[in-house]
């Protein structure tokens, strides 16, 4: 039986080109989508003193504590304590100064230069008068997955975290002297985690690559008016993950020219395959 409809040569070429472009566009959409990031290696650091390397005195301003994660895929972490005590007044707007990073049986805590050890919560990571925080530097980028804390006093342990990358070598310690929280917002990605109460708790974060870097900063919430309570706690554990073969996810969007090359390249491949089938 004779076909009732027959494509003209121009129609056939146009159909092939249209199909190729559609497939190319679909492929580009898949390439530019943001798939969930998989992390093959889980790492964690428990701040109980095991394997700790202390540089400086236990209560010295500007001291540091270094830890190794367990297992064969070890990641080195250096922790330092900081507070916004520069030009001391109990208000946001101060600049950062190095503090003392202390370790108790329940975890790490920050003592700034105005602390009074007999006046709880000044020997914790807290936002009472000033804002204390711990800077964790790692020898490779890790996706933050959780922070475990022991809370005291009000039992509140709301936290603000920043995660991102620096170009400095791990051997060069990060110096935040004179900076403020606006600088941290400009340098790193920021997230908040709130808890209405409790003693020991673990703040979890989605492992989607959005909080990935070689610098992780954990602070007592810089938004203490969230529930009207002060936050103070000791940091017990930090955990994350990484994929040895995959670099940190890029936030850059491909240039239009690059997209065009991909689209027409895929379209060309599609046309060549169709021609081979019709020969």
How do residues 49-82 score in pLDDT, each as one tens digit? 899 999 999 999 999 999 999 766 789 999 999 9
Q: How far apart are CA 252 and CA 245, in angstroms?
A: 19
Q: What is the pLDDT of residue 156?
A: 85
Is pTM beyond 0.85? Reply is no
Q: How far apart are CA 270 and CA 16, in angstroms?
A: 8
Point out the residues of the chain with pLDDT beneath 70: 1-38, 71-72, 87-93, 116-122, 153-154, 196-198, 225-226, 245-279
Q: What is the pLDDT of residue 186?
A: 97
Q: How far apart are CA 179 and CA 17, in angstroms?
A: 56
Structure tokens that stand for 164 in this block: 């991102």
Q: What is the pLDDT of residue 93?
A: 63
Contacts of 37 (CB under 8 A, 6+ apart): 143, 207, 208, 209, 212, 243, 246, 249
| CA 196 and chain centroid, separation | 23
Instruction: State the virtual CA torsion across 144, 150, 154, 156 in degrees, nearest 10.
Output: 10
Measured from the Cβ of residue 278, the count of other Cβ atoms closer than 10 Å reads 7
Contacts of 103 (CB under 8 A, 6+ apart): 47, 49, 52, 58, 65, 109
Q: What is the pLDDT of residue 177?
A: 96
């Amino acid at each position: 039986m004779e076909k009732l409809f027959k494509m003209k040569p121009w129609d056939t070429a146009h159909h092939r080109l249209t199909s190729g472009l559609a497939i190319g566009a679909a492929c580009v959409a898949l390439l530019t989508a943001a798939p969930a990031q998989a992390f093959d290696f889980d790492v964690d650091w428990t701040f109980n003193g095991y394997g700790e390397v202390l540089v400086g005195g236990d209560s010295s301003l500007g001291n540091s504590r270094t830890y190794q994660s367990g297992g064969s895929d070890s990641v080195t972490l250096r922790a330092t304590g900081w507070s916004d005590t520069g030009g001391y007044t109990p208000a946001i707007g101060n600049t950062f100064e190095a503090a003392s990073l202390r370790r108790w049986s329940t975890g790490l805590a920050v003592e700034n230069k105005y602390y009074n050890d007999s006046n709880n919560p000044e020997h914790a990571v807290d936002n009472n008068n000033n804002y204390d925080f711990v800077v964790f530097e790692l020898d490779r980028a890790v996706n933050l997955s959780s922070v475990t804390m022991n809370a005291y006093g009000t039992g509140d342990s709301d936290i603000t975290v920043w995660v991102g990358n620096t170009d400095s070598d791990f051997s060069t310690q990060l110096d935040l002297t004179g900076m403020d929280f606006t600088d941290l917002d400009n340098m790193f990605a920021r997230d908040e985690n709130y808890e209405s109460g409790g003693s020991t708790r673990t703040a979890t974060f989605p492992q989607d690559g959005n909080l990935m870097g070689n610098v992780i900063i954990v602070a007592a919430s810089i938004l203490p008016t969230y529930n009207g309570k002060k936050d103070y706690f000791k940091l017990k554990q930090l955990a994350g993950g990484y994929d040895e073969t995959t670099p940190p996810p890029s936030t850059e969007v491909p240039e239009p020219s690059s997209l065009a090359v991909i689209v027409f390249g895929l379209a060309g491949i599609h046309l060549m395959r169709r021609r081979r089938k019709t020969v």
